[in-house]
């Protein structure tokens, strides 16, 4: 017995080394499973979100000039679109005087502004941390956008911070379509350049042009239909036999991410129940909003 104890004491360094190595590998493997993270092991925990919040308060000013220029440009474009839409609306109203032009499906969405306090673009699995959490009504699987387009999906929340799976993370994909032709596919980032992603699973006969806008398809409850994602820059270099793959320039500039909006869908619980095969209860107003379910991953 004494020899055995002596043996372990003499070789304790190996045991300690193996313990830490195995612990690290368990964490490494566990991290491949999104939505199942322990919040204290992520940058959304109280200490790191405070440190990042303080850093963000300083560094947030650095990009203001370019953000302002972007906003002005976007504002101008939106004003033009508004004028255009108003004219179209007036013409349509003249044609169909009795119809209503409200879109009730969009009334269910609410946008909640948030500030980015940590963000990475250089890793293979990137994440974003924002300064809003469960206390502000955030829940896992809510979509997040910024002025350029889709940013990611909420993964875990603490009371005043949340970690998102960035669009620059192969763990998520977003259902998207070509804005003009309605062909839809799956947008996924496979590493490398943070400015580009791939839209795959498009049907073989897809008609597209370089410069076409890609928008969300609205097939998941996280993103309503029509949110800008990026533009087509050409065919992706890897094309499988069955489908067309397009290289997309993302509308969101992830290296300068600062202000984002969380999409809160008032009917997500109801939709997830339906996806799970359960009909919604008769008293829908009492249904908790945004119940987590694995089956509605993006």
- DSSP character at residue 279: P
Encoding tokens for residue 11? 């070789």
Which residues have CB under 8 Å from 220's CB, separation 6+? 174, 175, 296, 298
Q: Binding of other proteins at residue 127 (CB under 8 A)? A: yes
For other proteins, how many residues bind (rule: CB under 8 A)? 42
Among 13, 94, 241, 279, binds other proteins (CB under 8 A): 13
Of the pair 85, 239, the CB lying nearest other proteins is at 239
What is the rounded distance in angstroms from the CA atom of residue 62 to the CA atom of residue 6?
59
Among 6, 7, 8, 23, binds other proteins (CB under 8 A): 23
Per the CB < 8 A criterion, the answer to whether 245 and 91 are in contact is no
Per the CB < 8 A criterion, the answer to whether 215 and 179 are in contact is yes
What is the rounded distance in angstroms from the CA atom of residue 80 to the CA atom of residue 66?
21
Q: Binding of other proteins at residue 55 (CB under 8 A)? A: yes
Q: Binding of other proteins at residue 265 (CB under 8 A)? A: no
Q: Binding of other proteins at residue 231 (CB under 8 A)? A: no
Q: What 3-state class would DSSP assign to 68? A: helix
Q: Binding of other proteins at residue 7 (CB under 8 A)? A: no
Checking DSSP bridges between strand 184-188 and strand 174-178, what pairing results, if any? antiparallel
Q: How far is the CB of 272 from other proteins (least distance, A)?
A: 26
Q: How far is the CB of 173 from other proteins (least distance, A)?
A: 15
Q: How far is the CB of 109 from other proteins (least distance, A)?
A: 28
Per the CB < 8 A criterion, the answer to whether 138 and 155 are in contact is no
Q: Binding of other proteins at residue 118 (CB under 8 A)? A: yes
Of the pair 164, 264, the CB lying nearest other proteins is at 164
Task: Determine how many CB atoms are found less than 10 A away from the CB of residue 123.
Answer: 12
CA geometry: angle at 224 spanning 219 and 229, to 5°?
90
Task: Determine how many CB atoms are found less than 10 A away from the CB of residue 279.
Answer: 8
Contact track, other proteins, 177-196, x by CB under 8 A: -------------xxxx---
Q: Binding of other proteins at residue 11 (CB under 8 A)? A: no
Q: Binding of other proteins at residue 121 (CB under 8 A)? A: yes
Interface with other proteins (CB under 8 A): 12-13, 16-17, 20-21, 23-31, 37, 40-43, 45, 48, 51-52, 55, 118-127, 129, 163, 170, 190-193
């Amino acid at each position: 017995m004494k020899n055995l104890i002596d043996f372990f004491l003499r070789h304790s360094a190996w045991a300690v080394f193996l313990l830490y190595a195995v612990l690290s590998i368990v964490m490494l493997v566990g991290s491949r499973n999104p939505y199942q993270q322990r919040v204290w092991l992520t940058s959304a925990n109280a200490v790191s979100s405070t440190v990042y919040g303080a850093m963000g308060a300083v560094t947030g000013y650095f990009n203001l000039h370019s953000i302002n220029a972007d906003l002005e440009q976007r504002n101008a474009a939106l004003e033009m679109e508004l004028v255009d839409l108003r004219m179209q609306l007036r013409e349509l109203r003249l044609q169909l005087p009795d119809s209503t032009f409200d879109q009730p499906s969009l009334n269910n969405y609410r946008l909640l502004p948030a500030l980015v306090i940590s963000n990475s673009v250089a890793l293979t699995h990137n994440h974003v941390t924002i300064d809003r959490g469960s206390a502000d009504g955030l829940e896992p699987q809510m979509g997040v956008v910024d002025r350029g387009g889709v940013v990611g999906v909420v993964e875990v929340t603490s009371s005043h911070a949340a970690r998102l799976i960035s669009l620059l993370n192969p763990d998520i994909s977003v259902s998207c379509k070509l804005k003009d032709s309605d062909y839809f596919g799956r947008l996924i980032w496979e590493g490398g350049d943070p400015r580009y992603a791939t839209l795959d699973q498009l049907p073989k006969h897809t008609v597209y042009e370089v410069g076409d806008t890609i928008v969300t398809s609205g097939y998941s409850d996280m993103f309503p239909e029509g949110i800008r994602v990026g533009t087509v820059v050409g065919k992706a270099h890897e094309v499988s036999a069955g489908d067309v793959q397009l290289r997309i320039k993302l509308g969101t500039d992830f290296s300068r991410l600062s202000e984002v909006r969380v999409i809160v869908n008032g009917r997500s619980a109801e939709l997830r129940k339906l996806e799970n095969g359960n009909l919604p209860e008769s008293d829908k107003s009492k249904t908790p909003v945004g119940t987590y379910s694995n089956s509605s991953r993006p």
